[in-house]
């Protein structure tokens, strides 16, 4: 087998509840700002949970021609916007000569549920002739990757990952593998989600998964805190440009970090609850460390899945202790979902970007609202305020319904 190629990150693009680009989202996260508030996208007064991490003031017209906007659900619009920002940030030029060596993997956990809800109502009230001819391409999850590839001319591997809340991380991991083995020289990869709509909120609320701290929206997402009462639904997009090291050096690209490891596992336990004591998550992190060929003690920071659910946070803490032993207490571990809410299929993409920038900037992001730590969650979760720390290696964890787990490891490029 030929030697694996090194893979680096050369471009970042994000649209989040904290900002409409990477810089604004990062600066807000460093400052501990919170992008969660009352739901404004529909009347949520009858719902048990009335709060969300909404993307405010997103204008798809900044990126997309007016006639094309109506052909895309919001999750596709945001994916295209973030992908264009990431490609511009990378300085990557796609030409007829290299187009078949540049690919796209962008996934979503749920896809175009807003459009499904809207056009189902239209069908029932006004009949089949009122359903848009663009309805199907609006809701298909792979049309995020499809629209990006069409727009930028990327003719390489084109695919879509759908693994619930692990989608963004699996997308980046699979793109990493494609470059490693030589099937592409560059990949645009990540996740996008936008399902702040009645059906999604009602569904998650029926599972008793959502926070109902409606009178204090900014305090509702509180990972690892004893008073947490569920996650907060969010929306957004996180996209990265990955390249082979050779490709990046050849064009003198700026390198944010290197991708050094990727792990994935299945709990084979329950449709929505994690395996006891974090057995599946622990195997996933161990696989990532083995793939990166590093000792657990090399890790400085973990961007935790940390959703703010009772069992999820405790079990992820158990998994970290299982993998890292005494070193677990020397790590910084934080959940940026405390500020963004849970972006579902986009979470892994945005949190990968935060992990990469922690390496680049020597700053570990905080877990806000950690006022009363759960005794079962006794690691350094960087409460309230960001921390200056040299980060050589960082892990970004994502765990999804169905027991699907993803672990990405990034390191300083040397």
Q: CA–CA separation, 196 vs 41, rounded Å?
A: 7
Q: Which stretches of 135-185 are assigned E, i.e. beta strand? A: 158-159
Are the C-beta atoms of residues 371 and 364 closer than 8 Å to each other?
no
Catalytic: 332?
A: no
Alpha helices in 102-189 (DSSP H): 113-126, 135-139, 143-152, 167-180
Tokens for 89, please give them: 């940030």
Any idea which residue has 């920071």 for tokens? 301
Start-to-end Cα distance in the chain = 25
**How far is CA 186 from each of CA 22, 198, 398, 410, 413, rounded to the nearest angstrom?**
20, 38, 23, 17, 17
Tokens for 174, please give them: 């699979």
Closest CA to 168 of 305, 272, 280: 305
Q: CA–CA separation, 11 vs 82, rounded Å?
A: 10
Tokens for 211, please give them: 């926070």
User: Quick one: CA dihedral 372, 377, 379, 385, positive or negative?
Assistant: negative
Are the C-beta atoms of residues 353 and 359 closer than 8 Å to each other?
no
Are the C-beta atoms of residues 73 and 58 closer than 8 Å to each other?
no
Q: Which of 170, 197, 305, 332 is catalytic?
A: 305
Catalytic: 165?
A: yes
Provide the Cα torsion 249, 255, 260, 262; round to 10°.
-110
Tokens for 192, please give them: 């996008």
Catalytic: 197?
A: no
Q: Which of 170, 342, 377, 407 is catalytic?
A: 342
| Helix or strand (DSSP H, E) at 137 | helix 135-139
Q: CA–CA separation, 40 vs 19, rounded Å?
A: 17
Tokens for 264, please give them: 């994935």
* CB proximity list for 154: less than 8 A, separation 6 or greater: 94, 99, 102, 103, 104, 148, 188
Catalytic residue list: 165, 305, 342
């Amino acid at each position: 087998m030929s030697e694996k190629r090194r893979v680096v990150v050369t471009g970042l693009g994000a649209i989040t509840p904290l900002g409409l680009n990477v810089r604004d989202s990062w600066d807000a996260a460093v400052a501990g700002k919170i992008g969660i508030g009352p739901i404004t996208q529909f009347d949520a007064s009858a719902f048990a949970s009335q709060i969300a991490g909404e993307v405010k003031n997103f204008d798809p017209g900044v990126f997309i021609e007016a006639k094309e906007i109506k052909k895309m659900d919001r999750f596709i619009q945001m994916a295209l916007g973030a992908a264009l920002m990431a490609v511009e940030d990378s300085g990557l030029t796609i030409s007829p000569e290299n187009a078949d060596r540049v690919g796209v993997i962008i996934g979503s956990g749920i896809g175009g549920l807003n459009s499904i809800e809207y056009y189902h109502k239209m069908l029932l009230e006004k009949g089949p002739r009122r359903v848009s001819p663009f309805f199907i391409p609006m809701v298909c999850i792979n049309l995020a990757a499809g629209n990006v590839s069409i727009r930028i001319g990327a003719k390489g591997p084109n695919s879509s990952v759908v693994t619930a809340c692990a989608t963004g991380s699996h997308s980046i991991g699979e793109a990493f593998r494609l470059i490693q083995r030589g099937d592409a020289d560059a990949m645009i990869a990540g996740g996008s989600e936008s399902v702040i709509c009645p059906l999604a909120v009602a569904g998650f609320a029926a599972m008793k998964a959502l926070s109902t701290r409606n009178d204090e929206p900014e305090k509702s997402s509180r990972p690892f805190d004893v008073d947490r009462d569920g996650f907060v639904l969010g929306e957004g997009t996180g996209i990265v440009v990955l390249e082979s090291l050779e490709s990046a050096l050849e064009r003198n690209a700026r390198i944010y970090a290197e991708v050094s490891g990727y792990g994935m596992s299945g709990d084979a336990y329950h449709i929505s609850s994690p395996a006891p004591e974090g057995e599946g998550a622990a195997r996933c992190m161990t696989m990532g460390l083995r793939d990166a060929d590093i000792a657990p003690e090399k890790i400085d920071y973990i961007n935790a899945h940390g959703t703010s659910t009772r069992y999820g946070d405790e079990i992820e803490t158990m998994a970290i202790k299982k993998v890292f032993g005494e070193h677990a207490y020397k790590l910084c571990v934080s959940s940026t979902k405390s500020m963004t809410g849970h972006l579902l299929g986009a979470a892994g993409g945005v949190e990968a970007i935060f992990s990469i920038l922690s390496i680049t900037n020597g700053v570990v992001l905080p877990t806000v609202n950690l006022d009363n730590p759960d005794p079962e969650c006794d690691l350094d979760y960087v409460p309230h305020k960001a921390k200056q720390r040299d980060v050589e290696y960082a892990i970004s964890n994502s765990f999804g319904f169905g027991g699907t787990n993803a672990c990405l490891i990034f390191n300083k490029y040397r």
